[in-house]
Structure 1
Amino acid sequence: MEERLPQDIRGDRGEPLVVERYYDYALTGRSRVVRVLGQTLRRVVALLGLSLFFSPLLVLGLVTLDLPLRMLDGLVPLEAVAPSRFLSRGEGILGAALFVALLATRRWGSRRIGQTVLVSWLLTLAFAAMLVLDLAPELAAEDYPETRFITSVVLSWMAGHGAGVAVFDVTRGGNWWRAPFFGGLIGLGVQALIYFPAAYVGTSQPWLWWLAVSLFLALAGAAAFTLVYAGLRFIVPPRTGLGGR
């Protein structure tokens, strides 16, 4: 489009300047809705896909909470505070789920994996509730776990998983070992600091000693995971923007 301008702003040769006008054609309301719905649907599908991958670990952890974990007893010489007295195979699986979540955070970031952890726990609790209702006619009163115990387990591991994912993401970008080590240590540490007081305060159990041993195991577990992570980081591609760390 050519538009004649006043004489005082014409070019040096007296020729009229050419003015180009650009029009920003905004999306119609319908187009906006379709685009937003498409983006939302893709995010929901991706979130559910990750949650369905993560949830079986949580389910397996919950259904094996009554099986003692004896493989770590050799790390503690005192029988009274042996890990098998307060740790179960289920909690070992839930600890492994934390490390899986940290690897996933390397790939997709803390926001998506934090949402995945929350949705996975909700799906797991819904499945557990349906399972209990289905088996209720065949269960005696003593077959049910104590409400205080199961509440302490679920809330502490939810908090531990969330804290580990958040710390992993915050400590990325520097030395490669910081994120897996501190993510694992803080995740397991938060779980222990919540679980033992919530489950045992007011009882005669030596839960302070158990807490101390659990924190030691958290340190050892974080160190072991860091060694595994050293090899896996070349296999699991990182989220962009952090130089492969």
Structure 2
Amino acid sequence: MSDHSVDARQTSAEPGVLLRAFSALVSLLLPVAALLAVFAAAYTGRNLYITSFDVFPPEQWYLNPGYWLTYGHAVLPALFLVLSLINRRYGPGLTMSAVLISWLIAGGVFIWAVYTYGLSGVRSSLASLPVMANFAGALFAGQLLSVYLFDRLRGIPWWRAPFYAILWGGILYAGLFYVQMLMNSGAPVANRIAVILAIHAGWAFFGVLIYHLFRRLVRPLPGYGGA
């Protein structure tokens, strides 16, 4: 085979690789934007307290969730629903790429905020560095489990993969983050953990309904029977 034919084949292969890379990058735009939108919504609601469930008298204030439960807690589990929809459309590889890119962007925003407002300003707005590190590690672990479970369980029946991916991804995140944080804080633990787990269990059921509504809009990868 001549050198000319080898060079021609390599030249023709390069545009194909570039095209696939560009196509993957374009495909990542909406998933990454959706993940960051959930982060932004949870951050916006971090100081908006939910007092609708405060039914205990003032002397039992510690049983009411309204003094700590925020809309940020209620919104963040939507992240696992978004992961299930991304996984349905693109599969686990691109889903994990979207997760990593979203964390890189979040990390870039954090560095910018520290540079602009100082570390003390960021800590006063968010939390201490150990708590932020615990949160990031726990949430990333929950995302990993959610992506893995969806990929392993997708098929017939269609609801099984999103339900367990949302449920167990959220429970792993809550277990790793809240249990360790509350055990070291001296705050009432049992009722807080019960409320948080109830939120994630509720999102598993509610998320399946939302997932069902999006099934026709978000087409699945081939070979899974439409699941």
Scaled to the shorter chain, the TM-score interval is 0.7 to 0.9
2:48·2:70 contact (CA, 8 Å) conserved in 1?
yes
What is the distance in 2 between the residues matched to 1:172 and 1:115? 19
Q: How many residues align?
A: 220
Label 1:84 to 1:166 Cα distance change in 2 as closer, same or farther (>3 A): farther
- Per-residue CA deviations over 1:86-126 (Å, capped at 9, x if unaligned) read 44322323212221221221111122112101211220121
2:74·2:199 contact (CA, 8 Å) conserved in 1?
no
1:99·1:184 contact (CA, 8 Å) conserved in 2?
yes
For residue 31 of structure 2, what is the amino acid of its counterpart?
L
Counterparts of 1:233-244 in structure 2, within 5 Å, are: 233-244=215-226
What is the distance in 1 between the residues matched to 2:202 and 2:55? 10
RMSD: 3.1
Q: How does the TM-score come out when normalised to structure 2?
A: 0.80
Which has the larger Rg?
1
For residue 66 of structure 1, what is the amino acid of its counterpart?
N
Task: Point out the more displaced range, 115-124 or 29-38.
Answer: 29-38
Higher RCO (Cα < 8 Å, 6 or more apart): 2
Aligned counterpart in structure 1 of residue 81 of structure 2, from 81, 99, 121: 99
Shift of 1:75: 9.6
What is the distance in 1 between the residues matched to 2:33 and 2:212? 27
What is the distance in 2 between the residues matched to 1:81 and 1:219? 20
Shift of 1:139: 4.0
Shift of 1:161: 2.3
Correspondence for 2:95: 113
Correspondence for 1:6: none
Aligned counterpart in structure 2 of residue 39 of structure 1, from 2, 9, 20: 20
Aligned counterpart in structure 1 of residue 179 of structure 2, from 191, 197, 200: 197
Correspondence for 1:131: 113
What is the distance in 2 between the residues matched to 1:207 and 1:112? 37
1:58 aligns with 2:39: yes
Label 1:54 to 1:196 Cα distance change in 2 as closer, same or farther (>3 A): closer
Gaps of 5+ in 2: none
Label 1:93 to 1:121 Cα distance change in 2 as closer, same or farther (>3 A): farther
Could you say which structure has the higher helix fraction?
2
Q: How does the TM-score come out when normalised to structure 1?
A: 0.75
Gaps of 5+ in 1: 1-24
What is the distance in 2 between the residues matched to 1:76 and 1:162? 38
Give me the identity figure in percent: 24
Correspondence for 1:148: 130
For residue 166 of structure 2, what is the amino acid of its counterpart?
G
Task: Point out the more displaced range, 139-148 or 101-110.
Answer: 139-148
2:34·2:82 contact (CA, 8 Å) conserved in 1?
no
